[in-house]
Every structure is written in C-alpha cells, then in structure tokens.
Amino acid sequence: MKLPAEIIELIAGHLPNDEQYKCLTLSKAWFESVHRAMYKVIHIKNRHQFRRFFQIIPNKGHLVRQLFLANSESANKKVVGITSLELDQLATYCPYMEILEFDQKVWNYTKMPSTAATRWHDMRRLPAWTMDTMPSLPHMNCAKLTQLSLQGQLVSTLFDQQQQQQQQSFALIRLLSNIPHLQHLCLNSKQNKSHVIRVSLQDMESMHTAAPHLTHLELSGSFKLAMDYTSSSDVLDCMQHITPATRMRRLKLKATIPPQWIYYMARKYPHLHELDLEVLDATMTAFHHTTTYKKSASSSSSSHSHLLQPTIPSAKEIQSLFPMLLQCCPRLRKMQIDSATGKMYMTEAFFDTLATHTHLKEIKMKHSTYNLVSRDQFFDLLAARGKHVVTGLGTEVMGTDMHIAAIVDPLSRFTQLTELVLCCGHPYFDCDIRVVLSGCQQLLDLTIRSAHLMLSDLNEESQPIKQQHHPLASLHLSTVSFSAHVFGYLGQTCRAMKQLSFYECDQRDDAANQIHIHMPHNDFDLVLMNGIRLDSRQQQSTTAPSDGTMPTMAARVTARRHPRSRD
C-alpha cells in the first residue's frame, strides 16, 4: 500500500531511532519521508554530539523543529552549553525552530543575539529568561510563543516597576500583552538574598487579562499573595466580580498564601485539573499584616487615632475552604500539597467531600528534609480516609519504634503509594529493605535517610526469589550505612530499577576491601555516588601512607551491559 509522504513522516516521528534507520531501506518514498522526520526532534547529550550536529545543519538545519540540550535534570546530569555565536548560527541554519531547550545556567555566560531573535518566527518555547537575556526579548517575534519562563532578579525588577508605576500598566503586563498566544507562564523569583514580592488580587487579575489563553501558571519563590480580609461574606461578594479563567488547567504556587486566597482559586479556576501548593510559611502568624493606624480627618492623631486590627478566617472557616474548592473544581484530578498546609486544610470535611468527587484520584504530600508528615492524628487521618488516593508521602520513624515494621504497617494501608521518603533518625537504625518493599508493593521511587539498610535473614537472600518482582524504579540513599548483600537482593527483586544514588553513605562489611554493588539484571540510566566509603571501622585497620593521604577504596558496580545507542 502506497502511503502519502505526510503520513509516512508522521509514522516515522513516533518510531524509536533504530526503527527509523530500518525504514530508510524500505523504498525511496519512505527514505525521503523518514529522513525528514529524523531531523525534526534532536536530543544532544554531550559536546561531541553537538559538534557533529553543527557539521550537518548547513544542509539539514531547515528540517529541525525541536532541539534539546542535556541539562542538570537529564538522566546523565551533564550540561551541554551553547555560545552566543552558536545561537546565532542556529538561527541562520534552523530558521523554522519551534522549541529550544538548554540548562538555564547557560545564560550566565551567553546571551541571545538580537539577530537570532528576529529570525525565529515560529519559536514557541525557550529556556527561562534572566536579567542578562531580557534585552533580547523585545526583539523576539512573539506571535507564536506559547511558553514563557522568567526567573531571578528579572521577576523582582518587573514587579518593582509595578510599584513605581501605579498609574500605568507595569512592565510584566506590557510584556504579556505582546504575546497573544501565551499558554504557559512560569515566574520563579528565587534569589540568593531574601526578597519579598507582594502580589495583590488586582495584580493577578491583570496578568490573566493580559494573557487570556493561559492554561498553566506557576509562581514560585519570594511571592507573598496579599488580600484584605474582613469577613467571608465580604470576600464572597468580591469574588462575584471575578471572571473565571476557564482555560486554566494547572496551577502551581510556591509562596506565602493566606487562607482567603482559596476563595479566589475556587472562583477563578473552575476547570482546573492539577493544583500544586507549597505555602512557604503555613503558620497563621504569616498571614497577619503589619498593624496600621488610621487618623481621623477631623481630629488630632494623639486623641483619635484608632487601630485597624487585621483579621484572618476563623479555624472553622479554614476547615471549610478545601471542601468548597473541591465543589467548585469538579474536574480536579491531581493535588500536590506540603504537609504543613495539608494538615491545616485536609480535615474530615475535606475527605467527606472527596468521597463524592468524581475525578480527584491522586494526592501527593510534598516533602522536604524538614517538612514530613509526622505520625500524629493527621497521619492517621490520611491512612484511614486517604489510603486510596495518596500517592506520595514523606514520614519518619518515631522514637518509640523498635522495628521498621512499626512504620511500614501503617504505610501498607496506602494502596496507591508510589513515592516514599522514609527518615529513620540515625544511620544505625535497622531498616530491612525486604520489609519496606513487601509493605509498599506499588512503590516506584524510594528515598531512605539516616538508616542502616539491611536484610534480617541473610539465608533468604541467596535463595531463589519466590515473590513477584517489585516495580521499584529508583532508589536514593542519604546518610545510610548498608551491607553489600542488600544489592544482591535488590538486583533480583527490583529488575526495573533505573536509577540509584548515594549521598554520604557507608558500606558496613568488616571483611570487605571494596564497595560492591552487584545488580547484573538492571539496565541503569543513572548511578550517582556523592560520598560513599567503607565503614570507618574498616578504614581504621588500613595503614595510611606516610604522606598523610588516605587510600582510595575501589567501588565496583555490576550492571547489565547493553548496546550503545547511535548519536
């Protein structure tokens, strides 16, 4: 059957690289179509590939639509840089580029040439803009730009200009107004020094007015959302004047967020699919404004000044906010929230409403080193009412826990748990990996901190594995001591594991003279070792050289070898 060239090109675009090469030999028509498809999306993993790529773009660059350079979030953690001259050459030879992605840190030593900005008429996405690259943005043809990311001091500057220009639209609004088809907006104001950006209700409304097609919005960093509050009735009256943004599907906020902003989210985003909240200071004191005084016009300040007492919603009202949010957002599918904020809003009333919600089937409790779900009433509430929806959780061993089973038993109630951070308190607390995996059988991502990773029955490790393979895909160990035979067990049980990382870890085998990780069945994408050594007791028995340096311990990792993919 003879297919049109466009159909062949679409088919080839969904095939892996090796299958595309096979299709080149089918016929002349297939060769031409597949050949075009192979150059549409390019992934560069290292500078050697990048140099080879530049050798072919004078002839093939017009076929390139998307170019991705390896960044710090890629599997191999390598960053491929690009110079200003190379950017200019890309614009010359790849004029139809739609997506260009590279690590944001690259902007520290390169900039976007103004000539390059004017040549890319079809560009839809670029790396996050900074103060250094911002001068090039006005030269960009933004007619087709659908994603915009701004970061660092640039974000602060745009909002500072707003405060200085109250009577006219500030720089950010003017910028957004010039990007008519913008769908994704990310503002990351994180900086090295402490800085607060106050965002009012009017500011948020102005951003949505300037970018009416937004589907994804992210505000992260030093933002402090501000909204005056006197009573729930006044806020609800104010919300009646808010026009819903029905195109919005994903909202991510990492900021100081007063409770009354939940009213705004419920009103503004009725068709929301994903909500990601991380309140930087979830304590109620963070939401009190500085006490202000108001002077009567007809009397002196000394006798008639009166205190304006700021207020916040009552505890009872706060407990009603998330149930209201679920009712107003019937299409909500996924929620991510930090544990402190979850403890404030996720009450019995929330789970009562959740029981009748049609789409929300995934709740992830976001975790950090100091933001775990403690084993208290909130943990018990999650285990009892959220056991079928909680997919991510970070928790810790209590001082009274004598065995790892004491924490795994309640964790086993979570039937959809795929991501777990387990902090055991100190690197000599015995954490039987078999008990953890048996209790949490859906885990894909496991992080263990401050524990002794071990197997309670060494004889079972050498026996044929009778249980089904565990789906665990990544294991991250931090400040963990371990025994080498643990990885023999993991190599048999977790054959789907693709990532393994160590941070400040010790191997506790007195007779060993090398670190041994034997997992021949695994096909790893990443093995990261940042501080790994033999136990100090073993090192003490090793004689140090006369020059004062310690001997280097060998680390041997055995994994399945596979053919290298073509560049």
pLDDT band, very low/low/confident/very high, at 351 (cuts 50, 70, 90): very high
Strands 292-294 and 306-308 turn out to be antiparallel
Give the pLDDT score at 233: 84
More confident residue, 295 or 484: 484
| Residues contacting residue 180 through CB under 8 Å, at least 6 positions apart | 142, 143, 213
Whether the CB-CB separation of 528 and 502 falls below 8 Å is answered with yes
State the Cα–Cα distance between residues 208 and 217, nearest whole angstrom: 10
397 bridge partner residues: none
Residue 352 vs residues 2, 19, 73, 326, 385: alpha-carbon distances, Å: 58, 51, 39, 11, 9
Give which of 20, 21, 103, 97 is closest to 63, Cα–Cα: 97
474 bridge partner residues: 445, 499
What value does the mean pLDDT take over residues 321-325?
96
Tens digit of pLDDT for each residue in 459-513? Answer: 554 454 455 799 999 999 999 998 878 998 999 999 999 999 999 998 887 666 6
Give the pLDDT score at 382: 96
What value does the mean pLDDT take over residues 33-44?
80
The CA angle 388-392-395, to the nearest 5 degrees, is: 110
- The class (CATH top level) of 365-372+382-567 is alpha beta
Give the pLDDT score at 306: 41
DSSP string across 530-544: EEEEE-HHHHHTSPP
Please state which of the ranges 125-139, 290-304, 364-378 shows the lowest mean pLDDT: 290-304
Q: Which amino acid does the sequence have at 197? A: I
More confident residue, 7 or 432: 432
* Strand runs labelled E in 55-109: 66-69, 99-101
pLDDT band, very low/low/confident/very high, at 296 (cuts 50, 70, 90): very low
Residue 283 has pLDDT above 70, yes or no: no
State the Cα–Cα distance between residues 264 and 227, nearest whole angstrom: 10
pLDDT band, very low/low/confident/very high, at 161 (cuts 50, 70, 90): low
Whether the CB-CB separation of 225 and 199 falls below 8 Å is answered with yes
Residue 144 C-alpha from the chain's centroid: 26
Whether the CB-CB separation of 508 and 477 falls below 8 Å is answered with no
Give the pLDDT score at 192: 60
Residue 562 has pLDDT above 50, yes or no: no
State the Cα–Cα distance between residues 24 and 69, nearest whole angstrom: 26
DSSP string across 121-132: SS--B-SPB-TT
State the Cα–Cα distance between residues 17 and 12, nearest whole angstrom: 9
Residue 166 has pLDDT above 60, yes or no: no
Q: What are 17's two structure tokens?
A: 């690289």
State the Cα–Cα distance between residues 465 and 190, nearest whole angstrom: 48
Tens digit of pLDDT for each residue in 100-126? Answer: 888 877 877 777 777 777 788 888 888
pLDDT band, very low/low/confident/very high, at 18 (cuts 50, 70, 90): low
Whether the CB-CB separation of 439 and 410 falls below 8 Å is answered with no
Give the pLDDT score at 328: 96
| Residues contacting residue 315 through CB under 8 Å, at least 6 positions apart | none
Residue found under tokens 């103004």: 114
pLDDT band, very low/low/confident/very high, at 129 (cuts 50, 70, 90): confident
| Residues contacting residue 435 through CB under 8 Å, at least 6 positions apart | 404, 405, 408, 456
Dihedral of CA 285/287/289/291: which sign?
negative
State the Cα–Cα distance between residues 482 and 459, nearest whole angstrom: 17
